[in-house]
Amino acid sequence: MSDDASRKRLGKGLAALIGELDSPQRPQAATGAGVETAAIGAASEIAIGLVSPNPANPRRAFNDAELADLAESVRAHGVVQPVIVRPAPGRPGAYELIAGERRWRAAQRAGLERIPVLIKPVDDKTALELAIVENVQRADLNAVEEAAGYQQLIDIYEYSQNDLAQVIGKSRSHVANTLRLLRLPETVRAHIISGALSAGHARALITANDPEGLAERVLREGLSVRDIERLAQSPAQQPTAPKIKAEKDADLKALERDLGAATGMKVAIDHGQRGGSVTIQYKTLEQLDEIIRRLKA
């Protein structure tokens, strides 16, 4: 089957998946002969210990305070929306999360023994696709996690940026700009993951010559995205060609020697069309006092 057909099948599967999640269903538990099973494609309720996170899940950051709040809600109302799982590869009777890890973690904190699940018997590739799409649609991923998820599909399954745009329902420019965030220094990416920097700030920092320095200014001064865009284009942020030092003429060198002899210090004269400067170098406070005494005299 062609890659295009695979993309279309994913789109249909995702639409069906979202439809099932939006439709209220009564969780059901199925047990038999001491082995717990669950119905494929229907909402079921299983032991929470049978569910484990997916190591390929693009989501890595979980805010502890938000998890605590969600756990309190789960204690009061239960897990309202099923998490999405698949049969765990190589582990009969166990399940691996596709989406809903935050709800699963909160349910564990709340001390729940069972959790509602929606089971999808999909392969690794489709599981990753569904995890990314579901998280992007719910805005559960920070920008760096979103970019890392896209990069996984590119590296492992040879997706093009156009493929990604079609699968996740975003523009190609959105995909390209998001992927560029992975070029930022690690310290800047850490600020994005923590929420200290917004995705807008991050995208503006991509074009800066010193993204780390500008990121620190954002945190220190509360700069807006427009401020960053302006500063990123300022001459101070742009790489400059190394200055070629002009050779001093004989007269300047002679003046340097004369002033050096008069002060007892090393003297440098820099002269240009708009004036210049005289630099007297000293090593100790006593030498500085001597310079001042001679100038006053």
Q: 236: which DSSP letter? A: G
Of the CA atoms within 13 Å of residue 65, those in its CB half-sphere come to: 1
- Answer whether 257's CB lies under 8 Å from 266's CB: no
Asked if 146 and 133 touch (Cβ cutoff 8 Å), the reply is no
Contact 178, 143 (CB under 8 A): yes
Neighbouring-strand partners of residue 85? 97, 119
Which class for 6: exposed (0-12), middle (13-18), buried (19 or more C-beta within 10 A)? Answer: middle
Catalytic, 20? Answer no
- Selecting among 20, 45, 66, 101, the annotated active-site residue is 101
- Map residue 275 onto helix, strand or coil: strand
Cα dihedral: 162, 164, 169, 171 (round 10): -50
Tokens of 220: 């220190």
The catalytic residue positions are 101
